Structure 1
Amino acid sequence: MTQTPTPATPVHWKVVIDTADPHAQADFWAAALRYVVEDNSALIGNLLGAGAVPAELVVESHGRRAWRDLVAVRHPDDPYDEASGTGRGRRLLFQRVPEPKTVKNRLHLDLHPGEGRREEELARLEDLGARVLRRVEEPSGGWIVMTDPEGNEFCLH
């Protein structure tokens, strides 16, 4: 007798980006994507109060407690855990690493602002600190290769 397989539960994921300054990168990407920086202050307060984490792992950011070495941004419409502030949907997590970026990204984000809005979005992203590397025009379409403030590549379509 053959058993019917149990439906698989989708795997929850996030994109993790190494960075020298997680809070600056989170602020840039939250503004670029119109996401929100996650608020983990309640969880941090509970862990500090219980003596589970040392105070040197915490900084103040946007007037609230935050982890010194990592911070995430999430889509504003996605669910999140109220006790921890952790998103349960589309997220980017920025983690501090000691070494600088030295080579081209093996993974990058493609931003799609919508038909006819590329130049307007380009100006907005440059105002946030992004830089243009090059414009690409191919038979399949065009896009702009850009970098965030730490030099991570992304494309604007």
Structure 2
Amino acid sequence: MACRITGLVLDCHDPDRLAEFWCAVLGYEVIGHEPDGLELGVPGARLGDGPPTLVLAQSENPKRAKLPLHIDVNPAGSDQETELARLTALGARPADVGQTGEESWVVLQDPEGNEFCLLRKDIGAAGKQHG
């Protein structure tokens, strides 16, 4: 027997604002409402089927130092440059964490400053990942 990662929790000031961003980035929808946050996931998927859910937990003091864990995303049906333009239009901003410029990934921040990486490899159209 083993465990599987079924959810990732991200502390934030404004779960509704971040839900708009992350739902657009990942093709997720809000699948759960809690008094202190929102749960985002693949439309129609059951817990444990497909990728982990993302829980946006409201916090007055989200941690702002570099975390030992961050989110990586890959383009799904486009190239990295096209996806970078889409993410930037959604509100992502470049982040400097000491990159050399030789990396194959791009470090970004969501609208609240949480860092994530856009990797290079196209993993195919989003609909094909889950079905």
Same fold (TM over 0.5): yes
Among 3, 7, 22, the alignment partner of 2:15 is 22
**Residue of structure 2 in register with 1:126 after alignment:** 88
Q: Distance in 2 between matches of 1:72 and 1:15?
A: 9
Is the counterpart of residue 104 in structure 1 residue 66 in structure 2?
A: yes
Aligned length: 115
Gapped runs of 5+ residues in structure 2?
Answer: 120-131
Q: 1:136 to 1:146 in 2, by over 3 A?
A: farther
Among 18, 27, 32, the alignment partner of 2:25 is 32
Is the counterpart of residue 13 in structure 1 residue 10 in structure 2?
A: no
Q: Distance in 2 between matches of 1:126 and 1:152?
A: 14
- Deviant stretches of 4+, over 3 Å: 9-12, 134-138
**Map 1:1-157 → 2, pairs under 5 A:** 8=1, 10-11=3-4, 13-38=6-31, 40=32, 66-76=33-43, 78-79=45-46, 87-89=47-49, 90-114=52-76, 117-134=79-96, 137-138=101-102, 142-157=104-119
Q: 1:96 to 1:120 in 2, by over 3 A?
A: same
Task: Give the drift of 1:91.
Answer: 0.3
Relative to the length of structure 1, the TM-score reads: 0.63
Gapped runs of 5+ residues in structure 1?
Answer: 1-7, 41-65, 80-86
Q: 1:116 to 1:37 in 2, by over 3 A?
A: closer
**After the TM superposition, which of the residue ranges 13-22 and 66-75 deviates more from structure 2?**
66-75
Match of 1:142, SS? coil
Q: Which amino acid is the alignment partner of residue 155 of structure 1?
A: C
**Residue of structure 2 in register with 1:44 after alignment:** none
RMSD: 2.3
Report which of the two structures shows the higher radius of gyration computed on alpha carbons.
1
Identity, in percent, stands at 37
